[in-house]
Structure 1
Amino acid sequence: MSARATRKRWALIGATSVALVASGCGSSGDSGGGTGASDSGKTFSYQSSEPQNPLQPANANETGGGRIVQNLFKGLVDYNPENGELRNQAAEKIDTSDAQTFTVTLKTGWTFHDGSPVTSKSFVDAWNWAASTGNNQINSSWFGDIEGYKDVHPESGSPTKTTMSGLTVTDDTHFTIKLYNKVSYFTFKLGYVAFSPLPEGFFKDPAGYGQKPIGNGPYQFVSWDHNSQVVTKAFANYQGVDKPKNGGVVFKMYTTAEAAYADLQSGNLDVMDQVPPSALATYKTDLGDRAIDSPQGAIQNIGFTLYQPEWAGANTAKVRQGLSMAIDRDTITKTVLQGSRAPASAWTADGVQGYKAGTCGDFCTYDPAKAKQLIQEGGGVPGNSLKITYNADGGHKEWVDAVCNSIRQATGVNCVGDPKTDFKTARAAITGHTINGAFRTGWVQDYPLNANFLADVYRTGAASNDFGYSSPEFDKLATEADQADSIDATATGYQKAEAVLAQDMPAIPLWYYRTNSGFSTNVQNVVFDSFGNPNWTGVEVKS
């Protein structure tokens, strides 16, 4: 997207393509074989996983919690599921003349699920709370662009303030955001769920609200039966442009993708996240016109524990480069993954603005001889043994085993999968730094720009930098890209930063995703967006 001339108004911005019914049965309670008419009062069920953290907007950066929270809360803007364009929600308009100071005007009439009004203070208080060190929000770094963030979240020591100087409430419907430096794409970032508002009651009992959240989104919280389901219902007073055409979403927790697929086929689950690898060859035949195969802005990687001494040395980059060259991506994507993935040659997903094929260079090309050479030059894999940690409930076993087989055959390194029971357990081990070696890590776009795949993952201290990776050169180039005069220039700048990852290889790019999913006979009008989400509010439940 090119820069706007003179004063820019972000009232509507075009963008290129940014982790359960109580009885456990199907949402409609019948076979779904009726007239095809929809019943807007009925819920539908969706394949999910247990959230890693309490249901707080700035505390979810994995799909299990993130997809629930994004339905309970709604921020200033979001992305149109039909075309990926940024659209206003709680914001009437967001004005800026310099991409550094933004004036927000809110729409009137918005309320939280408890009936209290959504005001400028609802946003400013929520962001200040989320950014503050003491509140331990996993997405606190998302507020790092705002002036005063370092006062509430210093790199070391205790905070000197509780509010960011860059946030100023003018009145109930107006507030300003001032950044340390200009960020050409800052409004893109505002679509991320961490920037949601919070009701006044939240601050009196954050822990309690994390278990029984009160938001302002299209669906309101009903119940959370841990490791089983989260039940929501449509919010009657929702003021967004995407009013629900159904009665709510029930997020059902599954320990295996195979179990979810069996429930989908029997009508006990309405919408899948992804079909398991074991069903990729047959799911289109199994489901017919209820099968989904659509583009997704997402990538699968293998990350490394660079915070551990055996992986921290500069020379170990050669070991990781060698391991990358030992993976036969072409064969694995064609056979194990049935052509449902495309081999990756960069750390940014194909189709995202700023994507540049080939950034990984030869290091993403299968070459056993060169792989052995690089591993030897780098001092070898510690103990000549590599574990790849992954969540067993996500349908990853087949490809992890295939990757390990490829590494073993090409290099002689003893590679094995390290399955954790579920996504929550795997994420806790990864973020808690209790694993050693390597781990599965995927990234689905939060906004459709290469900066999201790079700055929010590989910048020093970023919320999703699970590797402990820190490169002054990458950080410098990322900052320069942020301050570019246009989004096009920002995308180009981040391509330069991405090239640094090829030198350091903190993570190995594997392949780009597609959404391979399906839905039951109980529902209709199921469409997935480039974020890998169904258009939640557009799903219709058959009567």
Structure 2
Amino acid sequence: MTETTKVPSDYISFFGSEPQNPLIPTNTNEVNGGQVIENIFTGISQYTPDGEVEMGVATSVTPNDDSSSFRITLRDDWSFTNGEKVTADSFINAWNWAVRPENAQLQSAFFAAIDGYADVAGETDEEGNVTTEPTADTMSGLTKISDTEFTITLSASDSTFPLMLGFSAFAPLPSVFYEDPEAFGEHPIGNGPYMMDGDDAWQHNVSITLKANPDYPGSTPAKNPGIAFIAYSSPTTAYADLQSGDLDHMRETVASEAYPVYTEDFPDSHDDRPYAAIQNFTIPQDLPGFGPDEEGRLRRAAISMSIDRQLVIDKVYFGTRQIAEDFGAPTLAGGLPDIPGKEVLTYQPEKAKALWEQANEINPWGGQKFQIAYNSDGGHQLWVEAVTNSIRQNLGIEATGKAYPTFKAMRDDVVNRTVGSAFRSGWSADYPSIASFLVSNYRTGDSSNDGDYSDQEFDALLADAASQSSPEAAQPIYNQAQAILMRDLPQIPLWYYAASTAWSPKLHNVQSGWLGMPVYTEITKDVD
């Protein structure tokens, strides 16, 4: 740890990085801020380590006959850490605030299924231009019955909607939030198993420290006094601290160069569990040569088939990853689907070169450089270099990585649409459904659709899948939607993640959850 990092000796320290934004649930769509949000807030429901849904603040979520409306019943004994009761208003007000366009929340699209969403959010076209101004301040689909009951009415049936309610964007907010959202984002007040540890809990670019919430009434109270996320410049530095005893846990993955040795370095304190996440990179729709046309499709397919994924997995990750065959993750319910067109994700260097030349006949590539942007503090350099080497060798073009010093710096350019290149864009599920991958990343205008992909047929299939009576009935329709993605390749899937991680032998009850992250509340620590 750095000299300025001060963490109580009985707290458990984890590898981390500076969050992109202030710590507001509906404006946090990346892992470093997300890990804090998920520990200091508890929603209507929550997810078990195996990805099953269980009740959180709610005692029940009851659908009507066609899953177009849900009655939420809350516990009456739950409070925020400032003493304010968690009530129906805590949810209703937070969701309405998130949708109002002047608040510009990154996660606002998660509420799009609720009736009246467009009346509050307004409507935009595919280019983001406002076509319909907002006409209301609150969504008509949210109706308070009492302090402990409210209903959610959707604009259409959606059997997967209850799965979403454990995601942090649906967290409740205390009334103090609305007095100064900016200040709240620096010192958030939640209702989860942990709370911010004092006024200086967030030391920017250094650490975020959380302490156990002593009044937490839920089923997952912290069994340790506190946790800390330490902002490292690279996983390599963090792994060195783990070896020296100055860090307790590498979180979801060790440094790339540690893959050959981490099981030997930590023979009794490591894990390599697959989890619901995928590594890919996004090629923006407005990147020259890669637009939504025949040239763009040819070049995207050529890029994908020029990559020797297994070679990269073997050399960089020592065989601990699985080649991607879809745009989701095989650990989700239903396993790995057989998607038409998935051969575009296989290594076919000769065909890749032929497709690239076909694209050149439409519009010559010239001396352009193909780059993949990545953050240097996340351990991505080795795989980006290996992938771009494969592209360069097989397509005969200049291809390189484009390094950003921090995750925040890269994400700022991605969100502001100023990155000017392809960029790494791994995704972990927000909730246990393939919809979490497909809707957030590829639906027109959605919250994490950072490449600005848009296809009307794809959007219609997502809506059709959501209207089905069960996730099982929706699966074949999601498969059809994925076939469109195989054709268009808005992102290039590479491999599925595994929690290849290690921790100090002083820790006990350590396990990786369904998203590859430690189950923080369960871990205990021997203290000298």
TM-score interval w.r.t. the shorter chain?
A: over 0.9
> Could you tell me the TM-score, scaled by structure 1's length?
0.91
Which residue of the other structure, out of 227, 231, 235, is the alignment partner of 1:253?
Answer: 231
Aligned pairs for 1:352-431 within 5 A: 352-354=332-334, 355-379=336-360, 381=365, 383-431=367-415
Equivalent pair of 2:289/2:299 in contact (CA under 8 Å): no
Residue matched to 1:540: 524
Which residue of the other structure, out of 207, 210, 213, is the alignment partner of 2:182?
Answer: 207
Number of aligned residues:
510
Unaligned runs of 5+ in 2: 124-129
Shift of 1:524: 1.4
Residue matched to 2:108: 140
1:335 is paired with a residue of what secondary structure? helix
Equivalent pair of 1:26/1:269 in contact (CA under 8 Å): no
Which residue of the other structure, out of 338, 343, 360, is the alignment partner of 2:318?
Answer: 338
1:103 aligns with 2:71: yes
1:118 aligns with 2:86: yes
Residue matched to 2:278: 299
2:426 is paired with a residue of what secondary structure? strand
Residue matched to 2:206: 228
Shift of 1:100: 0.8
Tell me the distance in 2 between the aligned counterparts of 1:360 and 1:534. Answer: 35
Residue matched to 2:435: 451
Which residue of the other structure, out of 250, 262, 267, is the alignment partner of 1:288?
Answer: 267
Which residue of the other structure, out of 182, 188, 192, is the alignment partner of 2:157?
Answer: 182
Cα distance change on mapping 1:539 and 1:359 into 2, 3 Å: farther
Unaligned runs of 5+ in 1: 1-19, 29-41
Residue matched to 1:278: 257
Tell me the distance in 2 between the aligned counterparts of 1:190 and 1:400. Answer: 35
Cα distance change on mapping 1:381 and 1:514 into 2, 3 Å: farther
Letter in 1 for 2:244: S
Tell me the distance in 2 between the aligned counterparts of 1:71 and 1:242. Answer: 10
Shift of 1:437: 2.5
Tell me the distance in 2 between the aligned counterparts of 1:441 and 1:382. Answer: 27
Equivalent pair of 2:339/2:482 in contact (CA under 8 Å): no
1:298 is paired with a residue of what secondary structure? strand
Equivalent pair of 1:26/1:270 in contact (CA under 8 Å): no
Equivalent pair of 1:25/1:269 in contact (CA under 8 Å): no
Equivalent pair of 1:21/1:250 in contact (CA under 8 Å): no
Once the two structures are superposed, residues 383-412 of structure 1 have per-residue CA deviations (whole angstroms, 9 ceiling, x without a partner) of 442010001111111110000111111110
Mean Cα deviation higher: 218-227 or 150-159: 150-159
Residue matched to 2:421: 437
Once the two structures are superposed, residues 230-256 of structure 1 have per-residue CA deviations (whole angstroms, 9 ceiling, x without a partner) of 111111111111011001111111110
Tell me the distance in 2 between the aligned counterparts of 1:287 and 1:383. Answer: 47
Shift of 1:368: 1.3
Letter in 2 for 1:368: P
1:362 is paired with a residue of what secondary structure? helix
> Could you tell me the TM-score, scaled by structure 2's length?
0.94
Residue matched to 2:126: none
Shift of 1:308: 4.0
Residue matched to 2:482: 498
Tell me the distance in 2 between the aligned counterparts of 1:410 and 1:73. Answer: 48
Cα distance change on mapping 1:381 and 1:237 into 2, 3 Å: farther
1:71 aligns with 2:39: yes
Shift of 1:372: 1.0
Letter in 1 for 2:268: D
1:267 aligns with 2:235: no
Tell me the distance in 2 between the aligned counterparts of 1:497 and 1:358. Answer: 9
Cα distance change on mapping 1:522 and 1:158 into 2, 3 Å: farther
Letter in 2 for 1:221: M
Tell me the distance in 2 between the aligned counterparts of 1:254 and 1:326. Answer: 33
Letter in 2 for 1:86: V
Residue matched to 1:85: 52
Once the two structures are superposed, residues 325-345 of structure 1 have per-residue CA deviations (whole angstroms, 9 ceiling, x without a partner) of 000011111122111111112
Tell me the distance in 2 between the aligned counterparts of 1:209 and 1:26. Answer: 23
Letter in 2 for 1:404: T
Tell me the distance in 1 between the aligned counterparts of 2:399 and 2:2. Answer: 41
Tell me the distance in 2 between the aligned counterparts of 1:371 and 1:70. Answer: 42
2:15 is paired with a residue of what secondary structure? strand
Aligned pairs for 1:39-50 within 5 A: 42-50=10-18
Tell me the distance in 2 between the aligned counterparts of 1:22 and 1:100. Answer: 54
Residue matched to 2:444: 460
1:487 aligns with 2:471: yes
Mean Cα deviation higher: 380-389 or 288-297: 380-389
Shift of 1:378: 2.2
2:86 is paired with a residue of what secondary structure? coil
Once the two structures are superposed, residues 426-463 of structure 1 have per-residue CA deviations (whole angstroms, 9 ceiling, x without a partner) of 11111111122311010111122111111111000111
Residue matched to 1:519: 503
Letter in 2 for 1:393: D
Letter in 2 for 1:447: Y
Cα distance change on mapping 1:174 and 1:128 into 2, 3 Å: same
Cα distance change on mapping 1:241 and 1:443 into 2, 3 Å: same
Tell me the distance in 1 between the aligned counterparts of 2:491 and 2:518. Answer: 28
Cα distance change on mapping 1:298 and 1:267 into 2, 3 Å: same
Cα distance change on mapping 1:382 and 1:224 into 2, 3 Å: farther
